[in-house]
Amino acid sequence: MIQSVICRRQTIQNLRCNSHIRSPVRAEPRRNSVPPTHTLTNTSKSTITSNMISKRSSLDRNNLNNTMANSSSTQDTSSSSSSQTQNPISQSAHSLTLDKEVSSAVAFANGNVNGNSGNVPVASAIEKAKSNKKRWKLLGDENSLHVAVASNLRQRYITKDGKCRVNLGPIVEKIRFISDIFTTIVDLNCRWFLLVFTMCYIVTWVIFGGIYFFGAWLRDDISHVGDPKWKPCFENVDSFLSALLLSLESQRTIGYGSRMVTANCSEGVVLLMIQSILGSIIDALMVGCMFVKISRPQQRAQTLIFSKHCVICERDEKLCMLFRIGDLRASHMVDAKIRAKLIKSRQTKEGEFIPLEQSEINLGYDCGGDRLLLVEPQTITHVINEASPFWGVGSKRLKRETFEIIVILEGIVEASGMTCQARTSYTEEEVLWGHRFESCISLEKGAYRVDYSAFDKTFEVQMSLLSAKDRSNAIKQGVVL
C-alpha cells in the first residue's frame, strides 16, 4: 500500500514537470471535438493515435522507474510513512483522471479511423476507460445509495389510515383463540369468514345425512322402499343423496313432504331433535357474526379524516402544535374524544434501551378541550409548555429527531350506538415548523359552508426558530424575539 502511494505521488510530480503532458490536477475544459478549420486525414489520425500511445507508454515506463527507484525508501520512519499516506484517495482520483483523459483521446482517434480494428493498445485503452467510468459511477452513487437505504428503513408504528404495523411473533398457546370463538370468527378476513360460514352448514348437513343413511341401512329401509307393508323409520330414503336431502330439509325446516322421520323408531326422533338444536345454535352464531362483521365501527372511521400535516406556530403568544380532524357524514359522532401519544425510543441513564416508549400529549384534558362537537372541522391544539415532550425542541432539533405522534379519535356512532375509533400518525417529517392552517369555513345564506378542498392547506408565517424553552429563557432575560 505504501509503495503504491509513493509511486502515485512521484507520478504526479513527474507529470507536473513535463510540459508536453497536461496535468490532471489542473481543471481544464475537455476537448471533445476538433476545430472546424482543421480536417483530419487517415494519416493524421493514425499519427495522433500513435502519439497518444507513445505518451502512455512513456508514462508507464516513468512509473516503473520511479517505483524501482523508491522501493528502497519504504523502510523510513513512521512519521514519514504517515505523511506520505495521509491522502491516498485524492492521489488515486488524480491518477484516474489522467487515465480517463488519455483513454478518451485514444478512443476519439480510433473512432475516426476507418477499418483500424487491429490496434490492440487502443482497444485496451477503451476497455480501461469503461472500467474507470464504472468505478467512478459506483463511487459517486455510494452516498445516494446510503440515503435511499436510510429512507427505506423508516418504519411507521401506525399508518396514515390507522393500521398498526406490529407483527405478533410465534404464539404457543393458540388455544386461547378458540376460547373466544366469536371474536376469532369476526376478526377473520372476508374470504375466510365466508368459507367458515358456508362450511358450518355444509358439514352438519353431510354428517347428519350420513347418520340418516346409516340408520336406514341398519333397519333395512333402503331395500323396502315403496313396500306398503313395511314400516320404515326414514321414509323414502334409498341412497345417500336422499338421506342428504332429508338432513337439509329437516335442519332448514323446508319439509317437502316426501321424506320424513316417522314414529316407527325412537332413535330417529332423538336424532331429529339433536339436529334441530344444533342447527339453531349455528344460525345464532353465524347470523350474529355476519351482523357484527357488516356493521363493524371500523367502517365508520373511513369518513373521519385527519390533516396530512401537523404544524407548529404561535397562538396567543404561546408555541402550539396544531392538527385538524373532520367528519364527512351528516350523522355526527356522539361524545367524541381526542387524545394523542408520542412514540419515541430512548435510553435511560443506566444504559437501558426502551423501544417505542409511549408518552402522553396533553390536548386540553384538564380544561375539557379534548371533548369535541364534531359538526365542522376542528383544529386541535397542544400547548408546548414545560410538561410537553416538545419543550426543548426547536426548528433545527426537529429535523434531527425521530418520533411519531399517534392521534386517536373515539366516539359513539349515532346510527348504531357502537363505539368507533379512528387513528392516524405524524412522523417528524410531517411536522411543519412555522406554518398555519388555512380557513375552510365560510358564511353562506342561512348556514355555514365547509370547504374540504382547503382542509389540508397551510401557509408559512414568520416566527422564531427557537424552542419553547429557549423562548422562555429569552423572555426572562428581557430579549425581544
- Predicted confidence band at 84 (pLDDT cuts at 50, 70, 90)? very low
Question: What would the pLDDT profile of 417-475 be if each residue is shown by its tens digit?
Answer: 888 999 999 999 999 999 999 999 998 888 899 999 999 999 999 999 999 999 999 88
pLDDT at 327: 92
Question: What would the pLDDT profile of 152-185 be if each residue is shown by its tens digit?
Answer: 457 899 999 888 988 888 888 888 888 888 888 8
- Predicted confidence band at 58 (pLDDT cuts at 50, 70, 90)? low
More confident residue, 290 or 58: 290
77-87 average pLDDT score: 39
Grid cell, residue 259, equals: 321424506
100-125 average pLDDT score: 46
- The percent of residues above 70 in pLDDT, for the chain, comes to 68
